[in-house]
């Protein structure tokens, strides 16, 4: 998943904890193998290879995640869309375009984008991408899902205090010495610093930032998060942190809110039950959802990682 995964488990019995953590890592590797865009024999790759040709039988888990992705597309007005993937060729941050593409140049890419062109047949367990050249990429939701599954594996093993962190997509369970886990909000301008911290209990947290993968053109920063409605990289936010009941939901919503931009993004968060968020805008302004008022402890310039749980 192109990230570092860290699992913390606390308890009395070291052997049980170690076995549980090993199993949780295996589970995350299993999910990566099934859902990766880049591994040729993943379920996602099989679906993509059959685009415009035929429906593909997939397992229930993959089908469920695709349905969940479509649901998030609907509730975000198409800002979140796993069919955005053809646009990755245009906006490859490893070999970025020398100039901005014209609308005309983007057209053939946009023609292959659109979650309404994913056909899911739940009873037959099949998924079909209607147009040739369509591609899905679960990169904005799979990491969160993998974190949820790792937590589930730990729970099944009897672990009741844990933190699973996949490069900023994380979930916490339980409390340590009577206190909730403390999560730092990274400074998008300098990732060795945190801007503030917040305590959370039994929640998923995910952050989407334009500093993770990007390229610069004419002094402007273009991020890896693309607005599937325009075909251009999303603008307006530097980072979006979402807190929700699951890490999967937080992951997908953080990407959706990033695409929507600060104003519409914070409205989406406010409209959803049990979801909170923090947006750092391009202007440096910070927006916090109403449920977090007073919950974030802001400060200036403490080095990241200095605050233990």
Interface with ligand AMP (CB under 6 A): 80-82, 84, 137, 139-140, 208, 212, 224-226, 228, 251, 254-255, 259
Find the binding residues for Mg ion in span 32-71 (CB under 5 A): none
Nearer to ligand AMP, 7 or 254 (CB): 254
CB 197 within 8 A of CB 183: yes
Find the binding residues for Mg ion in span 270-309 (CB under 5 A): none
Show Cβ contacts of residue 300 under 8 Å, excluding neighbours closer than 6 positions.
195
Nearer to Mg ion, 48 or 239 (CB): 239
CB of 225 to Mg ion, least distance (A): 8
Nearer to ligand AMP, 51 or 157 (CB): 51
Among Mg ion, ligand AMP, none, what binds residue 239 when CB lies within 5 to 8 Å by partner kind?
Answer: none
Give the residue from 139, 120, 138 showing the smallest Cα distance to 129: 120
Show Cβ contacts of residue 266 under 8 Å, excluding neighbours closer than 6 positions.
257, 277, 279, 287, 289
How far apart (Å, rounded) are the C-alpha atoms in residues 208 and 254?
6
Position among 20, 28, 140, 194 found at the interface with Mg ion (CB under 5 A):
140
For position 255 contacting Mg ion by CB under 5 A, the verdict is yes
Nearer to Mg ion, 142 or 194 (CB): 142
Position among 32, 187, 210, 251 found at the interface with Mg ion (CB under 5 A):
251
Query: What is the full DSSP assignment across 175-203?
Result: EETTEEEEEEEEETTEEEEEEEEEEESS-
**Residue 110 burial (CB count, 10 A):** 17
CB 154 within 8 A of CB 22: no
> In the bound complex, which residue of the shown chain has the CB atom lying closest to ligand AMP?
139
């Amino acid at each position: 998943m192109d990230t570092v995964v860290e699992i913390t488990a606390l308890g009395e019995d070291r052997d049980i904890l170690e076995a549980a953590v090993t199993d949780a890592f295996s589970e995350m590797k299993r999910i990566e193998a099934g859902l990766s865009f880049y591994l040729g024999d993943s379920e996602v790759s099989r679906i993509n290879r059959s685009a415009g040709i035929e429906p593909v039988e997939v397992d229930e888990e993959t089908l469920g995640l695709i349905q969940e992705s479509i649901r998030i597309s609907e509730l975000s007005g198409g800002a979140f869309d796993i069919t955005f993937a053809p646009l990755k060729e245009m906006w490859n941050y490893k070999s970025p375009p020398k100039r901005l593409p014209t609308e005309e140049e983007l057209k053939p890419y946009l023609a292959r984008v659109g979650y309404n062109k994913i056909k899911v047949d739940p009873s037959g367990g099949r998924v079909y991408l209607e147009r040739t050249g369509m591609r899905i990429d679960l990169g904005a939701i799979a990491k969160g899902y993998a974190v949820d599954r790792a937590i589930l594996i730990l729970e099944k093993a009897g672990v009741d205090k844990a933190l699973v962190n996949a490069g900023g997509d994380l979930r916490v369970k339980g409390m340590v010495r009577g206190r909730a886990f403390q999560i730092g909000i990274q400074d998008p301008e300098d990732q060795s610093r945190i801007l503030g911290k917040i305590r959370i209990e039994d929640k998923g947290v995910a952050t989407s930032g334009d500093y993770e993968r990007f390229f610069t053109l004419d002094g402007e920063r273009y991020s890896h998060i693309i607005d599937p409605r325009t075909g251009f990289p999303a603008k307006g936010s530097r980072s979006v942190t979402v807190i929700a009941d699951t890490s999967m939901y937080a992951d997908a919503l953080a990407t959706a809110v990033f695409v929507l931009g600060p104003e519409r993004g914070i409205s989406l968060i406010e409209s959803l039950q049990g979801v909170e968020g923090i947006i750092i805008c391009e202007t440096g302004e910070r927006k916090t959802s109403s449920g977090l008022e007073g919950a974030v402890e802001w400060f200036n310039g403490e080095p990241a990682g200095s605050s233990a749980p």
